[in-house]
A and B are shown apart, each in its own frame.
Chain A
């Protein structure tokens, strides 16, 4: 009997982990991860994110509960086989220093016994994909790469066996904010192309908001809330989630919307041609900050080419925010567990 719909890639069913010594790292977590979605596990240090993730590729065995991947109970799958079918990226990257970039990337294909030419093809293809020209990087050793480049290789390596699922544990944690931002962009671009099922761990709510289709908030081993970034920001289910979201949730929420979404027609009064303007692709957060900085209640909106488009007003921002909050509706039965207070 199959109890998982075909669109569900990973199911955690009342999963708990008690480490030797009695520490309950994960408590009764139930969670469905949909095929092709980016689910970000977010929570403070020690909240059980890594433990939860490692149970999915059996680096950690649950104390109770069950996990299904592709509908199959993973306790019945050979862990070696399971891991080769799931990409894994960790914060420390864990590139092998004695192997070239090419060897690192080809590791899973070689374990799977792919013929050499196919491995080489795959290496070149993946290096292209993560933006590292193969002729320049394939023969390098990890110590010759910058932190950001190492992360790209880490991601390429995780993708090498063409897994449907990727587990990423704070992969961008050790990078400077600019490199991190770049990699976020590339991550999203890559994901639009590849549509992998991705479980992504971070303790940074902003990163979660940026990357997630759904956020799963953990605290003290308990899954506190699962929802889209907007749902979590607008309606934190518990005090702990609200704390994690922070006092500036409104600002973060505005950061998720573009000016386009609050665009109004120009009023009767003609806009001040010399005053500040905002581009239609900018975020509402930028719009608000510009208004505050210039002491205005409305701003002209321009297209990328500078032509006038309309305007955005403080009132409009409030309406957009309210709309956000009304919008939120559970998206079917697949989500919702753990959303209650």
Chain B
């Protein structure tokens, strides 16, 4: 009950935090996407790059989020940039892996037909491989976005704002309504992001699989 009354009393504050939270998550996922897709293509094209690229990206996934934040601090200081980079590091792996898997899942015969018809390598990539791999790549982006929204709660630790502010204040002050006022919107945000991107994925898949 206390949650609702808190939220009712501070709609502007919660909205602002939600917006900040969403912004840093989206930005991290966006940067992660821009970095990971080309890397995924590279890994698919040049087998030798696979092990090093995966090792690098895996590190971003394996190092605990808080430790990652800690690692950013000495270089980028307190605040938004450190948080953004830490979250981005966590967003890389799912997108990279899915880009690679999506490209790998395209039948050789399809690529062969494309090449045999006289498509250049870039044409094959843009007109055949990307469209066919897109649903899988999007699934990776969806995972990355959900992870980012989760990790972004920790950004509050280093003063980058977001709904984590409320959660940490709530914990520190043993104030359950305050904590929930941060936790519930975070959960909703995660579910909404998951649902929305999932919906886009299904829409893209539709012409390829069902009547």
B54 CB to closest chain A CB (Å) equals: 26
- Chosen A-B contacts, 25 in total, with CB atoms closer than 8 Å, are A57-B116, A80-B118, A82-B118, A83-B115, A83-B117, A84-B117, A88-B113, A88-B117, A90-B112, A90-B113, A91-B109, A93-B109, A94-B107, A94-B113, A94-B114, A97-B132, A97-B208, A98-B132, A98-B207, A98-B208, A107-B117, A107-B119, A111-B119, A143-B208, A167-B116
Which of chain B's residues 113-147 have a Cβ closer than 8 Å to chain A? 113-120, 123, 128, 131-132
CB of B110 within 8 A of chain A?
yes
A69 at the B interface (CB under 8 A): no
Q: Give 4 A-B pairs besides A92-B109, A96-B128, A98-B131 with Cβ atoms closer than 8 angstroms.
A: A91-B109, A92-B107, A111-B119, A167-B116
* Contact-residue bracket for chain A: 20 to 34
Minimal beta-carbon separation of B104 from chain A (angstroms) = 16
Whether A83 and B110, one on each chain, are in contact in the complex, defined by CB atoms closer than 8 angstroms, is no
| In the complex, residue of chain B having the shortest beta-carbon distance to the beta carbon of A98 | B131
A89 → chain B closest CB, angstroms: 9
Q: How far is the CA of A82 from the CA of B118 in the complex (A)?
A: 7
Residues of chain B contacted by A331 (CB below 8 angstroms): none
Q: How far is the CB of B166 from chain A (nearest CB, A)?
A: 44
Q: Does B211 contact A (CB under 8 A)?
A: yes
Inter-chain contacts of B114 with A (CB < 8 A)? 94, 96
Please indicate the chain A residues that have their CB under 8 angstroms from the CB of B119 in the complex: 80, 107, 111
| Chain A CB within 8 A of B209 CB | yes
Complex Cα gap A93–B107 (Å): 11
Question: What residues of chain A lie closer than 8 Å to B207, measured between beta carbons?
Answer: 98, 100, 141
Known: A90-B112, A94-B112, A96-B110. A144 touches B211 (CB 8 A): yes
Selected from B118, B208, B209, the residue in CB contact (under 8 A) with A83 is B118
Q: Give every chain B residue within 8 A of A91 (Cβ-Cβ).
A: 109
Please determine whether A108 and B132 come into contact, CB atoms closer than 8 angstroms: no
Output the nearest chain B residue to A78 by Cβ-Cβ distance: B118
Q: Are the C-beta atoms of A111 and B109 separated by less than 8 Å?
A: no
A80 touches B208 (CB 8 A): no
Contact between B112 and A111, CB atoms less than 8 A apart: no
Kindly list chain A residues whose C-beta atoms are within 8 Å of the C-beta of B117: 83-84, 88, 107-108, 111, 157
Q: Judging by beta carbons under 8 Å apart, are A94 and B208 in contact?
A: no
Chain B positions within 8 Å of A18 at CB level:
none
User: CA separation between A300 and B118, bound complex, in Å?
Assistant: 56
Number of A-B contacts (CB under 8 A): 65
Closest to B128 in A: A96
Q: Measured between alpha carbons, how far is A90 from B209 in the docked complex, in Å? A: 22
Which A residues, 61 to 108, have Cβ-Cβ distances below 8 Å to chain B?
80-85, 88, 90-98, 100, 107-108
Residues of B within 8 A of A96 (CB): 110, 113-114, 128, 132
Contact A90 B118 (CB under 8 A): no
Contacting A at CB under 8 A, from B187-211, are 207-209, 211
Bitwise interface map of B from 32 to 59 toward A, beta carbon under 8 Å scored 1, else 0:
0000000000000000000000000000
Nearest Cβ on chain A to B42's Cβ, whole angstroms: 23
Query: A residues 277-336 with Cβ under 8 Å of B?
Result: none
- Per the bound structure, the CA–CA distance linking A57 and B116 in Å amounts to 7
Is B110's CB under 8 angstroms from A59's CB? no
Contact at A59–B116, with CB atoms within 8 Å? yes
- Nearest Cβ in chain A — how far from B79, in angstroms? 43
Q: In angstroms, how far is the closest chain B Cβ from the Cβ of A140? A: 9
The 5 closest A-B pairs by CB, nearest first: A94-B113, A84-B118, A92-B109, A83-B118, A88-B116
Chain B residue numbers with a CB within 8 Å of A84 are 117-118
B107 nearest CB neighbor, chain A only: A92
Complex Cα gap A91–B128 (Å): 19
- Chain B residues with Cβ under 8 A from A94's Cβ? 107, 109-110, 112-114, 116
Q: For residue B109, which residue of chain A has the nearest CB?
A: A92
In the complex the two chains form, what is the Cα distance from A88 to B112 in whole Å?
10
| CA distance in complex: A170, B116 (Å) | 15
Chain A residues with CB below 8 A from B209, complex form: 143
- Complex Cα distance, B114 from A88, in Å, reads 10
**A111-B123 contact in complex given A97-B132, A141-B208, C-beta closer than 8 Å:** yes
Residue ID in chain A nearest B135 by CB atoms: A98
Considering the complex, give the chain B residue whose CB is closest to the CB of A97. Answer: B208
Q: How far is the CA of A107 from the CA of B113 in the complex (A)?
A: 11
B 130-171 to A, binary, CB cutoff 8 A, 1 in contact else 0: 011000000000000000000000000000000000000000
